[in-house]
Structure 1
């Protein structure tokens, strides 16, 4: 079914002969062969309104009355997609995209979504460019019956309105606690089953589940460091005998929190490093038994993944790894949007920006390493290929619908590319300054993928 983009014109009730009369530009009427003066269904998200269609030669777009616009949450001047199904005389505008965010700050009208406000405004601008409508809501905005959602959109300023259930929900909840709330889980399940709403990035990924799933693919397995759900001291002892460096990572952790690095030294003692906001805490132990005794308390508090440590390439004496953003695009296929290098901050062994890490271009970072020029060229190509293969592997082997993935990769001193972890909620607040009106390719792809999901 083909679609086109048109402008919504909202007119005062006095200017419309009837509340549910809509005026459609003659160009669109001719294009879709829509009969004028007859009743039809106007669909926006899950809302269906019976309207009378009138054509106008001078109009470029769709004119509706204030009352109907209020009922749908529409405002004057927005650009939306339009399609028509003759068999049911149904005009569909949209797609309507709902973005579920973690929190709302009503006392900050200029930054209602905190650090991701700029990203939210970018999504609004991208929707205007491609023809779509987006609103934002939190877990607290979900009504019990799920017939509508009270959300926020931008119309010269951030405004709150009632909206229909959207065609597409983009899950940007950034804590597992919020995502696992019974009300949120029920909402996502109900809108999918009852309304056919597409929900993407619907869940956080678990490190153990990801590695166990990807091991099934022999082509991917060679990029996976040895990794297991931590069970007991015997596993720690066996892994430490096989690998001089180990990492213990919380399986549901993020931002480098709670990671423990264990290194075997030349005299068979062990060094433990723990992440902290101020840097790294380092302790030395005479045996692996002593290491376990020191960290056993932490290991009882949460579940950890034990992973083979790698000898990473370094830039200026600091470890470097890479974050690839892999997204689905306008035809639903995976593609690599960007790859950036992340160099660990001083006194840190992880490269997360939250731990003092810095971003740079891949080429710039590789030039500072010990890799040869030929290795650097090969690594640049391999990073993109492996990231794409990992995303396709997640789609094949991990249950869930994902539209974007942050794939963290490492390169060892021989030039081999390894997977560190996969993040289904890549950060949207890295602080990158943008000129007014600039829309990043990643944001454009998000809207294009939502249009694809909704059939526009």
Structure 2
């Protein structure tokens, strides 16, 4: 907001009812003394009254910005994190929600957690949740958000009628949201395969008995990935072995291996251990290592002013006996520069530049497929000993990065993108 001053959204109880108001400090009063104070401040979709003079105790307070726009007072901005609904007040990663709410407070931006069930076009105020202490959350009547960050935490919750209805209603109400949904691996691989970036994709195909056999003969090791999987759950790795074939299965953060003496036995074991749903095959590539263990590169990207930018790059190193590099499965982090410099020395800058150029090109291709509705994504990338870059996966709802500086920049980037899509969809409300 131009020429904005500091204020607060406050909630207080009166006659047993929880009410919302706006409070302004002395600096605001001095600066705008020449303007008569109307009955309230327009905050998102509602006009919120000034706090009554006799109210001294507040249930909750949150800093916002207040400015004069034409003949009205306007406060905000107001954003929401869309969360899952169910048998709890809301479902999602509360640590991630807490961090974004905290960043919003620093930026004088009101951010609240919005359960999917709270999205109701019949109500001007929606029930949202704010952090009020260690592990404690409070429900408040909140203005409708001016933009929404979709963080429904699982594919199953995202497919519930409540979540689908919420996303549809937000669209009807012209409240912009990113990102629309989880990616499907098979769909992403098809998008990539149909674009010039296909050169970065290892050989990939749908799972079939003959297809798996042929790919093993060519590449010796093949990953089997569930199209709708996450955190490595359900991934399998088939490798040629002196005794026949080795099948490694990752489930519930642990890895088990089996030996099959022939292909028929292997195929039967694959059928026994695969998760329900579609799988894709992907050729395993020889990757550079760290501490003698395979590693890949986790890259966070966010969109600013319509252009994709690399927020940060981290390295994930496979755990002991694991077939994936996910930290929840025993993996650990390493510094990207240290890994690249160890392998490529003076050529490290060239490899870093190639990695960044590749992920940006990939992001633009994927975003076009989703009609530019994406605001952030992460990618799992590999680098082989020759310095070639390989694309393994893209995620529309990235997990929290363990690197503090990347995590901090990601929070700031989310708020920046929410402000951008809010500005693009802004419509002056009727007072």
- 2:159 counterpart of 1:202: no
Counterpart of 2:327 in structure 1 is 353
Counterpart of 2:94 in structure 1 is 116
- Cα 1:10–1:176 shift into 2, 3 Å: closer
- Cα 1:359–1:421 shift into 2, 3 Å: same
Distance across 1 between alignment mates of 2:73 and 2:42: 6
Q: Does structure 2 conserve the Cα–Cα contact (< 8 Å) formed by 1:178 and 1:184?
A: yes
Counterpart of 1:80 in structure 2 is 65
TM-score, scaled to structure 2? 0.83
After the TM superposition, which residues 1-150 of structure 1 pair with which residues of structure 2 at under 5 Å, given as runs? 2=2, 4-8=4-8, 25=28, 29=32, 36-37=35-36, 42-48=41-47, 63-65=50-52, 76=61, 78-80=63-65, 82=67, 84=69, 86=70, 89-102=71-84, 116-117=94-95, 119-143=96-120, 145=122, 147-150=124-127
Distance across 1 between alignment mates of 2:9 and 2:169: 33
Counterpart of 1:262 in structure 2 is 238
CA RMSD of aligned residues (A): 3.7
- 2:266 counterpart of 1:291: yes
Counterpart of 1:174 in structure 2 is 153
* Per-residue Cα deviation, 1:100-124 (whole angstroms, up to 9, x for no partner): 23479989xxxx988633x333323
Q: Does structure 2 conserve the Cα–Cα contact (< 8 Å) formed by 1:375 and 1:415?
A: no
Counterpart of 2:278 in structure 1 is 303
* Per-residue Cα deviation, 1:132-180 (whole angstroms, up to 9, x for no partner): 1111132344458464321112467743211122111111111111111
Q: How many pairs were matched up?
A: 415
Counterpart of 2:191 in structure 1 is 213
After the TM superposition, which residues 429-448 of structure 1 pair with which residues of structure 2 at under 5 Å, given as runs? 430=402, 440-448=408-416
Shift of 1:397: 2.0
Q: Does structure 1 conserve the Cα–Cα contact (< 8 Å) formed by 2:66 and 2:73?
A: no
* Per-residue Cα deviation, 1:280-329 (whole angstroms, up to 9, x for no partner): 32222233333212212345732101111111111222101010111123
Please list every run of 5 or more consecutive structure 2 residues that lacks an aligned counterpart in the other structure.
15-19, 427-431
Query: Secondary structure of the equivalent of 1:440?
Result: helix
Higher relative contact order (CA 8 A, sep 6+): 1
Counterpart of 1:397 in structure 2 is 369
Distance across 1 between alignment mates of 2:124 and 2:11: 26
- Cα 1:229–1:145 shift into 2, 3 Å: farther
Distance across 1 between alignment mates of 2:340 and 2:157: 39
* Per-residue Cα deviation, 1:161-202 (whole angstroms, up to 9, x for no partner): 1112211111111111111111211111112222x1111122
Query: Secondary structure of the equivalent of 2:200?
Result: coil
Counterpart of 1:54 in structure 2 is none
Counterpart of 2:352 in structure 1 is 380
Distance across 2 between alignment mates of 1:381 and 1:364: 15
- Cα 1:29–1:394 shift into 2, 3 Å: farther
- Cα 1:321–1:42 shift into 2, 3 Å: same
Aligned match of 1:363 in 322, 325, 337?
337
Counterpart of 1:58 in structure 2 is none
- Cα 1:47–1:246 shift into 2, 3 Å: same
Distance across 1 between alignment mates of 2:374 and 2:13: 43
Please list every run of 5 or more consecutive structure 1 residues that lacks an aligned counterpart in the other structure.
52-62
Counterpart of 2:429 in structure 1 is none
- Cα 1:244–1:5 shift into 2, 3 Å: farther
* Per-residue Cα deviation, 1:198-255 (whole angstroms, up to 9, x for no partner): 111220000011111122221x11111121232x212222322332211100000011
Counterpart of 2:222 in structure 1 is 246
Q: Does structure 2 conserve the Cα–Cα contact (< 8 Å) formed by 1:13 and 1:66?
A: no
After the TM superposition, which residues 179-198 of structure 1 pair with which residues of structure 2 at under 5 Å, given as runs? 179-194=158-173, 196-198=174-176
Distance across 1 between alignment mates of 2:161 and 2:352: 43
Q: Does structure 2 conserve the Cα–Cα contact (< 8 Å) formed by 1:279 and 1:348?
A: yes
Distance across 2 between alignment mates of 1:443 and 1:300: 34
- Cα 1:129–1:23 shift into 2, 3 Å: closer
- Cα 1:312–1:43 shift into 2, 3 Å: same
Query: Secondary structure of the equivalent of 1:301?
Result: coil
Q: Does structure 2 conserve the Cα–Cα contact (< 8 Å) formed by 1:10 and 1:66?
A: no
Q: Does structure 2 conserve the Cα–Cα contact (< 8 Å) formed by 1:12 and 1:66?
A: no
* Per-residue Cα deviation, 1:360-391 (whole angstroms, up to 9, x for no partner): 110223355xx331343322222222222222
